Amino acid sequence: MSKTKMTNEETKKKPAKKQSTKETDTTQLEVASEVDTETKAEASSATEQSTTAPVAEEAASQLEGVALPATSGKAGVLGGSKDRGVKPEDKLALPAGRHFTYERVHSLNPKTFYCAMRWEYRIQGKSPEEGKRWWANKKLLVTNPANGNQVIVRAVDFGPHENTGLTISLSPAALEALALEIGGEVKIEFADQKGTLGVVNP
C-alpha cells in the first residue's frame, strides 16, 4: 500500500476518534447530572422527614389550638374497686353526661374506657365553664410504650391530684387493656375524635 493511501486513511480515522471522545464526555456529564439530581432529591426527602416528624408530634398533642396537660407520665385508676381516691357519690368535674350534665362517679362503668387529667379550663375566648364543656368527652389515645398496646378513652373528670405523682387516671378496663399497673408509664395524645372508644387494633 502506498504512503499516500495510508495517510488518507489515517486522516479519515482521526475525526472519528475525536467524535468518540465528545460522546464520552457528554455521557459522563449526563451521568453526573443524574447523580447530582438524585443526591439533591434524597437530601430534600431527608429534610422533609426531619421537619415533618416534630410537626406531626406537635399536632398529636394539640387539638383546635388547645394543648394537652401532658403527653406522657404515670397512670392511675379512676373508678372500680381499686380507686381509693373518690367516693361513688362524688360529682365528676366535666359535664360528660347527656346535654352536658354532671354525672356521679358511680355512674361510670368500669368496663368502659374513660380518663381524667388536670385539664386547663382557661381556653382562649372561652369561659371556664365553656372550657369544661370543650374538654368533656374529648377522645385521647393512650399508649403503653413497654408493649405498644393502645386504647382510646374519653375525658370525664379532673385529676389525679398533683401530690400522687400521677399524670392521668384511667378506667380499670383501659388499664387492663394496656396491661399496665398503677404507676406505669404511658404516652398520651389526642385521638381521632371520630374514633371508637376501646382497644386500638394493631
Question: What was the pLDDT predicted at 50?
Answer: 41
Question: What was the pLDDT predicted at 57?
Answer: 56
Question: What was the pLDDT predicted at 85?
Answer: 73
62 DSSP β-pair partners: 67
Cα–Cα distance for residue pair 171/152, rounded to 1 Å: 11
Give me the tens of pLDDT residue by residue for the chain, a chain 202 residues long. 544 444 444 444 445 444 444 554 544 545 445 545 454 444 444 444 443 344 455 558 999 999 999 999 999 999 887 777 778 889 999 999 999 999 999 999 999 999 999 999 999 889 999 999 999 999 999 999 999 999 999 999 999 999 999 999 999 999 999 999 999 999 999 999 999 999 998 6
User: Could you tell me if 151 and 113 are in contact, meaning their C-beta atoms sit under 8 angstroms apart?
Assistant: yes
User: Which secondary structure element, helix H or strand E, spans residue 17, and what is its range?
Assistant: helix 3-60
155 DSSP β-pair partners: 115
Question: What was the pLDDT predicted at 34?
Answer: 53
Amino acid making up residue 113: F
C-alpha cell at 150: 393502645
Listed as own residue / partner, the contacts of 124-128 with beta carbons closer than 8 Å and 24 or more positions apart are: 124/65
pTM of the model: 0.72
Question: What was the pLDDT predicted at 166?
Answer: 97
CATH class given for the domain over 66-199: mainly beta
Cα–Cα distance for residue pair 15/92, rounded to 1 Å: 93
Category of 183 on φ-ψ map: left (φ > 0), alpha (ψ -120 to 50) or beta: left
72 DSSP β-pair partners: 187
